[in-house]
């Protein structure tokens, strides 16, 4: 599976696989078609309060067994679990392996 980058080279956290790591370059939630989902501004506020801020280092640690949801990430020195639809609002610049 290839990861889709935007024009600035950022990818969505929701598209990462276990072991992928990088640096957060922004938080930009998009409207969700999921019933009961919180609005974009509220999701962005919650992500920022959890520490999903520009410059924070992040690594994908775990994906759920069913539908790869939820995900667990290492965010600087803590571990955070969230739904993949919430992770979609976090933009990452991936670290490229030197191998």
User: Residue 36: what pLDDT?
Assistant: 56
Encode 68-87 in three state secondary structure: CCCEEEEECCEEEEECHHHH
Domains of the chain (ranges, CATH numbers): 11-94 (2.30.30.90)
pLDDT, mean over the chain: 85
Q: What residue ranges in the chain does DSSP mark as E strands?
A: 11-12, 21-27, 57-63, 71-75, 78-82, 90-94
CA nearest to 16, candidates 99, 90, 98, 97: 90
Residue 96 has pLDDT above 80, yes or no: no
CA nearest to 29, candidates 17, 46, 16: 46
Question: Hunting for tokens 């993949």 — which residue is that?
Answer: 84
27/69: higher pLDDT: 27
Whether this prediction's pTM lies above 0.95 is answered by no
Residue 1 has pLDDT above 50, yes or no: no
């Amino acid at each position: 599976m290839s990861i889709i980058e935007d024009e600035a080279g950022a990818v969505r956290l929701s598209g990462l696989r276990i072991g992928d790591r990088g640096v957060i370059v922004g938080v930009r939630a998009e409207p969700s078609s999921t019933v009961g989902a919180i609005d974009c501004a509220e999701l962005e506020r919650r992500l920022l309060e959890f520490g999903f801020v520009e410059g924070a280092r992040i690594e994908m640690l775990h994906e759920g067994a069913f539908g790869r949801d939820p995900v667990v990430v290492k965010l600087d020195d803590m571990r955070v679990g969230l739904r993949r639809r919430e992770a979609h609002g976090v933009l990452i610049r991936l670290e490229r392996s030197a191998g």
